[in-house]
Amino acid sequence: MALVTFSNPDYKDKTVYAVAGSHTETLLKLAKENKVPVNFDCQDGECGHCLVRVTSVDSKGRMGYFLTDKEQNVLKELGKLTQEQIDQLHVDDMPSEYRLACQMIVRDEDILVEY
What is the distance between the alpha carbons of residues 91 and 83, in angstroms, rounded to a whole number? 13
Domains and CATH numbers, the chain: 2-114 (3.10.20.30)
Helix (H) or strand (E) holding 13: strand 11-18
Counting residues of the chain whose pLDDT is more than 70, the rounded percentage is: 95
Q: What is the pLDDT of residues 6-30, one digit of tens each?
A: 999 999 999 999 886 666 789 999 9
**Residue 86 φ/ψ, nearest 5 degrees:** -60, -45
Counting residues of the chain whose pLDDT is more than 90, the rounded percentage is: 70
**Residue 42 φ/ψ, nearest 5 degrees:** -75, -30
The reported pTM is 0.90
